[in-house]
Amino acid sequence: MSHPPIIGIDLGTTNSCAAVVQGDGEVKLIPYKGGDYTIPSVFAIDEKGNELIGSEAKRQWQLNPKNTVYGAKRLVGRSFRSEIAETMKRVVGYGLRAGQRNDVVIDVGHKEFSMQEISARILRKIREVATAYLKLPIERAVVTVPAYFNDRQRQTVKAAGKLADLEVVRIINEPTAAALAYAAGKSLRETVVVYDLGGGTFDVSVIEIRERVFEVKATGGDIFLGGMDFDNAVIQHVLKDFKSKTQIDITTDPVAMQRIRDLAERTKCDLSSREQVAFNIPFITMTQQGQPLNLEMPFSRKQLEELTSDLVDRTLKMVARVLVDCGVSTKDVGEVLLVGGQTRMPVVQERLTRFFGKPPSKGVNPDEAVAIGAALYAHSLQDDTNLKLQLLDVIPMAIGLERAGGAFHVVFPRNAAIPNAKQLTATTSYDQQSELAMRIFQGDHGEVAKNELLGDFTFSGIRPGRAGQVQVEITFDVNVEGILTMHARDPDTGREMKTTVRVTSS
């Protein structure tokens, strides 16, 4: 009896999607409801205390904005005091507060949830849908993450899988997965740029495809730039316009705000195929005299482009940086692949056409490519496969230690190939020292304080001796998933340290 297949899951900020390679080698998207292949990444608790996930949660969002969680992927592995949490507090209808580990927790329906619990609910739903569709117990998956996710965020996704009774066999980067989908069944030798602008995150990767070998040359991104920010530009414009006409501030009315959020997203999508639409919401609020007020204004594609031009600029600056990082010029690029729903915006395609001197490829479906690539890779990991794919990836930002005085000592530079291992030798700094403590950070800033703390490590059981006389060899090991493990040994005694440390959020 062969094992149930390993499925591929694209765990997205706004929508998630799953796919599987079936016995005949064909990739199938796993249908969700009524022919839809994407599951909204939305979790809610209704007034009766029922947990809702996906479409059911999205449907009741307008009436229950305080207990409906969306965009949670932006907060995965983030500390509560980060500017990302600050920004999210201003734009979402649900309440955020600090958890015990300085992470973000959300209060929904009088219960407290961590980010990994929310992600686990969505993963569990995908697992149930896949199990029902394939009529096989699905227990293993390859899950994708933004290339720009740091170690802590990758760890959180693995932990969410565990909570959902799903073994995350491998974590791979979304742009790499899209390149796998693009190259499937073709014998290619070319360099592609994957431009991935999704609901909550932006990634760009330069990938060299050599038949079944996919080598990432460089990657970059912004995990706080995506479709939600384009929606938000529309929302802020509408609120300002309404206030100037009526002197009424509706930001404190959660239901009115949710109606505006919904229409902002719809308007943005409609403007991809039309030049102008009406932005109308009847009975949005009341005047002081108790008269109902409607919100009515025209909205043009040109207006949307003006409101969001700085967001598009930010993506193109990142594209330029990544090309410089790997020494690839625009004319070396065979194809530009578009991934993520926000790439349907005409101005994004126009700007990329100008940048690269040719239009982007229509070779992959922007909503489905990542799940398809994840499924192809999942299939290549199975015992009975004849499809062997090799991924050579990189870490998105430097990993290093805190030096005395707050400088950042880089162990692995940005875009270092993975898997990768480095060894450092540390010496004791005072007599009879029995422990060695260090703090590990990830980021691209020369000052430690501006990077993300991955964790504090204490290696204990050091042989006592005079200061500077005792050495410890520390090995840093980044695996194929971009996750860091560390261990230490005393070269004089050959003794391995008592602790093998996995990076965890402190």
Active site amino acids: 10, 73, 174, 196
Cα dihedral: 376, 382, 385, 389 (round 10): 50
Q: Which residues of 144-162 are buried (b: 16+ CB within 10 A; e: fewer)?
A: bbbbbbbbbbbbbbbbbbe
Taking the C-alpha atoms of residue 108 and residue 152, their distance in angstroms, rounded to an integer, is 24
Taking the C-alpha atoms of residue 473 and residue 260, their distance in angstroms, rounded to an integer, is 57
CB atoms within 10 A of CB 3: 12
Taking the C-alpha atoms of residue 127 and residue 27, their distance in angstroms, rounded to an integer, is 17
Here the tokens at position 495 are 């003794």
| Residues written for the chain | 506
Q: Mention every residue, 6+ apart, whose C-beta is less than 8 A from residue 106.
A: 69, 72, 94, 95, 96, 97, 112, 113, 115, 118
Hey, which residues does 205 pair with through a beta bridge?
A: 194, 219
Taking the C-alpha atoms of residue 264 and residue 268, their distance in angstroms, rounded to an integer, is 6
Which run of H or E residues covers position 474?
strand 471-478
User: DSSP code of 79?
Assistant: B
